[in-house]
Amino acid sequence: MAATGVSAIEGRHAVVTGGGRGIGAAIARTLTAAGALVTVTGRGEQPLAELVGSGGADGYVLADVTDEAAIQAAIEAAAADRGPVDILVANAGAAESAPFARTDAALFRRMFDVNLMGVVHSVHAVLGPMVEAGGGRIVVIASTAGLTGYRYTSAYCAAKHAAIGLVRSLALETARKGVTVNAVCPGFTDTDLVADSIARIVEKTGMTAAQAEAELVKDNPQGRLVAPDEVADAVLWLCGPGAAAVTGQAIAVAGGEVM
pLDDT at 252 over 50: yes
Q: Which residues pair with 61 in a beta bridge?
A: 41
How many other C-beta atoms lie within 10 A of the C-beta of residue 241?
12
pLDDT of residue 7: 55
pLDDT at 100 over 60: yes
pLDDT of residue 212: 92
Helix (H, G, I), strand (E, B) or coil at 254: coil
Phi, psi (deg, nearest 5) at residue 214 = -60, -35
**Mean pLDDT across 160-172:** 98
Q: How confident is the model at residue 193 (pLDDT cuts 50, 70, 90)?
A: confident
pLDDT of residue 65: 98
CA proximity to 79, closest of 131, 114, 31, 130? 130
Residue 150 annotated among the catalytic residues of the structure: no
Interior angle at CA 16, CA 60 and CA 198, nearest 5: 105
Instruction: Give the Cα separation of 229 and 236 in Å (integer).
Output: 10
Instruction: Give the Cα separation of 131 and 123 in Å (integer).
Output: 12
Tell me if 39 sits within 8 A of 63, measured CB to CB: no
- Tell me the CB-side half-sphere exposure of residue 166, using CA atoms within 13 A: 25
Q: How confident is the model at residue 245 (pLDDT cuts 50, 70, 90)?
A: very high
Q: What's domain 2-187+232-242's superfamily in CATH?
A: NAD(P)-binding Rossmann-like Domain (3.40.50.720)
Question: DSSP assignment, residue 188?
Answer: S
Helix (H, G, I), strand (E, B) or coil at 185: strand
pLDDT tens-digit readout, 39-60: 999 999 999 999 999 999 999 9
Long-range contacts of 42-47 (CB under 8 A, 24+ apart): 42/17, 42/18, 42/92, 44/20, 46/20, 47/20, 47/21
pLDDT of residue 8: 80
pLDDT at 4 over 70: no
**Mean pLDDT across 26-47:** 97
- Tell me the CB-side half-sphere exposure of residue 187, using CA atoms within 13 A: 21
- pTM, 2 dp: 0.94
